[in-house]
C-alpha cells in the first residue's frame, strides 16, 4: 500500500515571501499522479496542482510550483509571493494509476501567512 508523509504539521511565511511544503511518498509503482490540495477555513478542498510521474518537467500554476524528485519519492510545493489568502491546510495526495483509483492523502501542513 502507498503511504504519503508530510513531516511539517505547521509552517508560517511572511506575506510576499516564498515557502516550500514537503511531501514524501512510498510506492512500488512507476506510473502514478501526485496532487496538492488546499483546504481553507471554509473546509472546501481545492486542487492546487497536479504532477504526472512520467513527466520530468515540474508542474507550475501561477505562483504555485512543485519540485518532483521521482527517484527520491519527493514532491514539494513552492508558493511564491505568498498572499494572505494562501493561509490554509495543504494536503499532498497520491493517485495510483491502477484500477482501484484511490487517493492516498498525507496528514496535512497548516500554513499561516503573516502580514
Partner 1 sequence: NAGVTQTPKFQVLKTGQSMTLQCAQDMNHNSMYWYRQDPGMGLRLIYYSASEGTTDKGEVPNGYNVSRLNKREFSLRLESAAPSQTSVYFCASSETGVSYNEQFFGPGTRLTVL
Binding stretches for partner 1 (CB under 8 A): 4, 6, 9, 33, 35, 42-45, 47, 50, 52, 91, 95, 97, 101-103, 105-108
Q: Which is nearer to partner 1, 50 or 70 (CB)?
A: 50
Q: Which is nearer to partner 1, 33 or 64 (CB)?
A: 33
**Which residues lie across from 39 on neighbouring strands?**
89
Cβ atoms 43, 37 nearer than 8 A: no
C-alpha cell at 49: 496542482
- For the CB of residue 85, give the shortest distance to partner 1 in the complex, in Å: 18
**Which residues lie across from 60 on neighbouring strands?**
65
Specify the DSSP element, H or E, that contains 46: strand 46-52
- For the CB of residue 91, give the shortest distance to partner 1 in the complex, in Å: 6
Q: Which is nearer to partner 1, 51 or 82 (CB)?
A: 51
Q: Rounded to a whole number, what is the distance in angstroms from the first to the last CA of the chain?
A: 41
- For the CB of residue 17, give the shortest distance to partner 1 in the complex, in Å: 26
Amino acid at each position: 500500500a502507498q503511504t504519503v508523509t508530510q513531516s511539517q504539521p505547521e509552517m508560517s511565511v511572511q506575506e510576499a515571501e516564498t515557502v516550500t511544503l514537503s511531501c514524501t511518498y512510498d510506492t512500488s509503482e512507476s506510473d502514478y499522479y501526485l496532487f496538492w490540495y488546499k483546504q481553507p477555513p471554509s473546509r472546501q478542498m481545492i486542487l492546487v496542482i497536479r504532477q504526472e510521474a512520467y513527466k520530468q518537467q515540474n508542474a507550475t500554476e501561477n505562483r504555485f510550483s512543485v519540485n518532483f524528485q521521482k527517484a527520491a519519492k519527493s514532491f514539494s510545493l513552492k508558493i511564491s509571493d505568498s498572499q494572505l489568502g494562501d493561509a490554509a491546510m495543504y494536503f499532498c495526495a497520491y493517485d495510483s494509476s491502477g484500477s482501484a483509483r484511490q487517493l492516498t492523502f498525507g496528514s496535512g501542513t497548516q500554513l499561516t501567512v503573516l502580514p
